[in-house]
Amino acid sequence: MSAARPAGGGALGVWLRGIVRGLAEIPDEYAAAFRRAPRRTALVTLLLALVVVYPFIYRYVFLPRQSALPLPLPDDTVMVFMLIFAALAIGLNIVIGFAGLLDLGYVAFYALGAYTAAFLASPHWHGVSLVLNPDVLPGSPGIHLPFWIVLWLAAIVAATFGALLGAPTLRLRGDYLAIVTLGFGEIVPIIFKNLINVDFALGPIKLVNANLTGGPLGINPIDPPTILGIRFGAISGFNAVYLGMVIVLMSIVIARNLERSRMGRAWMAIREDEIAAEMMGVNTVRTKLLAFGLGASFAGFGGALQASYQGATTSDFFQFSTSILVVIMIILGGMGNIWGVLLGAITVVYVDKTLLPWIGQRFGDIGRALDSPELARINPAQFNFLILGLVLVFMMRFRPEGLIPSTQRRVELHEAPPDQAIASAAVIADQAALATVAEQTAADAATEQALEAEAAEAEAPGQETPSQESREAEDQS
Amino acid sequence: MTVASDGARAVPLTGQVPDDRLLLRARDVSKRFGGLLAVNSVDFDIPRGSIVSIIGPNGAGKTTFFNMMTGYYTPSQGEITFDGQPIVWQKGKGARSRSPHEVTRLGIGRTFQNIRLFSTMSALDNVLVGMHSHLRSHWWDAVLRTPSMLAEEADAKEKAMALLDLVGLRRYADTWARHLPYGDQRRLEIARAIASRPKLLLLDEPTAGMNTGETRGMIAFIRQLRTELDLTVLLIEHDMRVVMGISERVTVLDHGEVLAEGTPDEVRRDPKVIEAYLGRGAAEA
């Protein structure tokens, strides 16, 4: 309706009207997409619909018949973790996939997001009482902010630390950057683990035996996400799955919009050739800091969701292995491609949290049936990293570009040898030389042209190799 | 020729180009890599609207000098002023330099000796990266897709397509840079450099690896650029035909020093130049 209102309200009004107009165009765009690629559009629509109704199907169709299923299906908690890790993977993909900066300490930002949510929506600071969340009893001890505010604050805190970490590492590349970020990823959870019994004095600030982070036990309980009185915590069934879907959808939109902007191009330029990018006027310092900061903000989303959903957070939750898990998701799914990264997150969480424990249970069943305690004790979930590592090795061997690769990666890893471009340049040069000869023998020009046209027709498929190849690459994307 | 360095100059030069026909003015510029003096006290001027060349044997310091003009290397000493703005200035005992992206914004665009396109980005995106410093939208504009950002992007795309048209690559707009034929890659690199709206275009061996026909085409193209876009062009070139055919002034560098300077004809006849290029015997013959 705001579109119909008279002009006014300045930039915000213009923007809001733009949004409304954009939303109004969605049906038209959908119809256009359907006309362009009916099968693909139908498939995507079906898939999305399936995702949206899946929690219901799971609960009312599959859960009662679980023992009859050939393979286990993810339950509510696993679904939520799929979505949390999807947000993380989308964020890390900005740093690694878009800007080409290998960050192995991403878990630090996940931890920062979770602890920010814990600090701002729990009875942890029991000395104060600041209740701004209408779903929490007024006068309760501790700080209680509404979830939607906590979510954004967590993202801001994570982004700030992302930029702080980025600042000293900007001159580093490749392996060196990976090592420094790895260190940061170790330091942050350890700090959270150890900031208990803190004695500290600086001017007016005086802490005696202060419990800042809850130590090894972490912070517990944390307010569940509530919106208009509806709870989205772990005990509220699949509500949280939909909350997670909204957050992931938001993350996808933000990441896609960044990718298709001036900033996205600058990130990719830095990934391709940092020196050339700087020579073309890209402020590489600023751009890399933005990649770190904005990438980290998605981990803030993920952390806030984790803490609020589970109602507890501890530093043990944020191991180095979690960083690696997110990197595996990106590589498996397809570095640089948001949809691929999403698939990677879903697959890895499924294997890690549903498939492997289930296989362990089957070993248990078989072992008990055969009366063999050794067999019953086999638990593949214990060596999940061995299995994921093997998967990575096989991926690298057979499909290094990931399940749904970005076009860049596919071209990089599967194109004909680079000499081909030069070879085709030589062909074109030869043709130019031929053309010159043709001009000189003006008398035969007409015949020549006819011959050339024939030749061009005959050779057309061969000549067009480079552009044809790229067109194919684009078609597949 | 060297201006006596009258003590350290603490304040950067601003707007003090004595002759406003000069676009770039370099004085007493040196670059030392450890024990190697790559560029030794070079003075160098580029008049507005001209096409000038730097030539010299391999290792003469040409590319090093280029890299100092674009802010990539900080000179060990010296001053460079571009269009009334300091790019390199003396501070204390050493020199300070603007960073490359600032220099690009001031109006120096460049290409590279060994092509450095963003190889797995489309030709159009390569040109759009060149426009980066003249686009204003921030990351939050991108996230919210504000009307101003969308308008700017549409406008930038249109301008980039026009540039691709200029270099004859419009039909390759969506092709990856690395898939273009070699000559087209060189042209795309020039389009990308022009996209940053330079006043001075630095071309580092633009005809390297080209055959005679392609070289001739490139010479005509550079001339066309100068007149159509009102550019000043500085070339580094090995190919004497290119240098002699196109430049109005030629500076010869050898062992990091200016060996000779003048019109192409003067330089060609200079015995010192012949000696440097062909050896002592050739100069005497």
CB contact under 8 A, A279 and B72: yes
Q: What is the pLDDT of residue A443?
A: 41
Residue A434 tokens, joined: 């031929």
pLDDT confidence bin for A422, thresholds 50/70/90: very low
Q: What is the pLDDT of residue B148?
A: 87
CB contact under 8 A, B116 and A275: yes
Kindly report the backbone phi and psi dihedral angles of residue A180, in degrees, each rounded to the nearest multiple of 5, phi listed first.
-65, -45
In whole angstroms, give the CA distance from residue B155 to residue B143: 19
Residue A7 tokens, joined: 């002009």
Task: Give which of A94, A259, A280 to mutate to test B binding, by max B Cβ within 10 Å.
Answer: A280
Q: What is the pLDDT of residue A21?
A: 77
pLDDT, tens digit, for every residue of B138-195?
Answer: 898 888 888 889 999 999 999 999 999 999 999 999 999 999 998 899 999 999 999 9
How far off is chain A from B164, nearest CA to CA, in Å? 16
Residue A219 has pLDDT above 60, yes or no: yes
Nearest to B132 among A262, A290, A411 (CB): A262
Q: What is the pLDDT of residue A15?
A: 74
- The answer to whether B126 touches B118, Cβ cutoff 8 Å, is yes
In whole angstroms, give the CA distance from residue A404 to residue A477: 8
- In one letter, which amino acid is A341? V
Helix axes A107-120, A284-310, angle to 10 degrees: 50
**CA neighbor of A130 nearest in space, from A138, A280, A373:** A138
- The answer to whether B45 touches B52, Cβ cutoff 8 Å, is no
Q: Which residues of B touch A22 (CB under 8 A)?
A: 145
Residue B119 has pLDDT above 60, yes or no: yes
More confident residue, A11 or A134: A134
Residue B99 tokens, joined: 């960073």
Q: What is the mean pLDDT of chain A?
A: 82
Query: A200, exposed or middle or buried, with CB in 10 Å at 0-12, 13-18, 19+?
Result: exposed
Q: Which residue of B has its CA nearest to A424?
A: B181
Residue A249 tokens, joined: 């959808």
pLDDT confidence bin for B15, thresholds 50/70/90: very low
* Bond preceding residue B198 cis, omega within 30 of 0: no
pLDDT confidence bin for A440, thresholds 50/70/90: very low
Residue A314 has pLDDT above 90, yes or no: yes
> What is the side-by-side order of every strand in the sheet holding B51-55?
B108-110, B200-204, B232-236, B51-55, B249-254, B257-262
Q: What is the pLDDT of residue B275?
A: 83
- The answer to whether A108 touches A125, Cβ cutoff 8 Å, is no
How far off is chain B from A290, nearest CA to CA, in Å? 9
- Looking up tokens 């049906």 gives A27
Q: How far is CA A365 from the centre of its chain?
A: 37
Lowest mean pLDDT across A112-116, A446-450, B61-65, B222-226: A446-450
pLDDT, tens digit, for every residue of A28-71?
Answer: 878 888 888 888 888 888 988 998 999 988 888 888 887 778 88
- The answer to whether A114 touches A97, Cβ cutoff 8 Å, is no
Radius of gyration of the CA atoms of chain B, in A: 20
How far off is chain A from B266, nearest CA to CA, in Å? 34
CB contact under 8 A, A272 and B130: no
**% of chain A exceeding 70 in pLDDT:** 83
To the question of pTM greater than 0.90 for the whole model, the response is no
Lowest mean pLDDT across A102-116, A367-381, A426-440: A426-440
Q: For A101-114, what is the mean pLDDT? A: 94
Instruction: Quote the DSSP letter at residue A351.
Output: I
Strands (E), A156-276: 198-202, 205-210, 226-227, 230-231
Q: Which residue of B has its CA nearest to A278?
A: B101
CA triplet A59, A60, A63: central angle to 5 degrees? Answer: 55
- In one letter, which amino acid is A56? F
Max mean pLDDT range (A81-85, A177-181, A441-445): A81-85
Q: What is the pLDDT of residue B19?
A: 61
Nearest to A281 among B133, B147, B213 (CB): B133
Task: Give which of B108, B119, B155, B194 to mutate to test A binding, by max A Cβ within 10 Å.
Answer: B119
Q: For A398-423, what is the mean pLDDT? A: 63
Nearest to A280 among B141, B178, B196 (CB): B196
How far off is chain B from A124, nearest CA to CA, in Å? 34
Lowest mean pLDDT across A172-176, A183-187, B18-22, B151-155: B18-22
Cα A51 to Cα A296, A349, B109: the distances in Å are 26, 16, 50
The 3-state DSSP class for residue A7 equals coil
Q: Which residues of B touch A468 (CB under 8 A)?
A: none
CB contact under 8 A, A424 and B181: yes
Kindly report the backbone phi and psi dihedral angles of residue B256, in degrees, each rounded to the nearest multiple of 5, phi listed first.
80, 5
CB contact under 8 A, A408 and B120: yes
Alpha helix ranges (H) inside A311-355? 320-333, 338-350
CB contact under 8 A, A276 and B117: yes
Residues making up chain A, counted from first to last: 477
